[in-house]
Amino acid sequence: MTIIETAKITSKGQVTIPARIRKLLHLKDGASLAFGVNKDGVSIMPCEVTLKSPYSAKEWQKIEKLSAEKGKSFSTIDSAKAYLTGL
């Protein structure tokens, strides 16, 4: 079954997903969506977003050791990663 609904894009690039589509996909407030582009157009799918650490387990071990010993702190993730790479 193909369901066609239309919506307008706001000046901020926002689109309201029509109620009929939200109901069919069981979308609630705060739901995450994935967008895919193919030769036929755009696909929108519900998805789940999970938290991923910016550091590997080995990097976390180094960070914990350094913070316990020296109390070293970094202003950005990139500066911390650069420091860890040099160890």
pLDDT, tens digit, for every residue of 17-67? Answer: 999 999 988 999 999 999 999 998 888 899 988 888 888 889 888 888 877
pTM over 0.75: no
pLDDT band at 70; cut points 50, 70, 90: low
Among candidates 73, 54, 76, 65, which has minimal Cα distance to 87?
65
Residue 54 DSSP label:
S
Per DSSP, helices labelled H in the chain are 19-24, 57-69, 77-85
What residue ranges define each of the domains in the chain, with the CATH number in brackets? Answer: 1-50 (2.10.260.10), 51-87 (no CATH)
Cβ–Cβ under 8 Å, residues 30 and 49? no
- In tens, the pLDDT along 7-17 reads 999 999 999 99
pLDDT at 1: 63
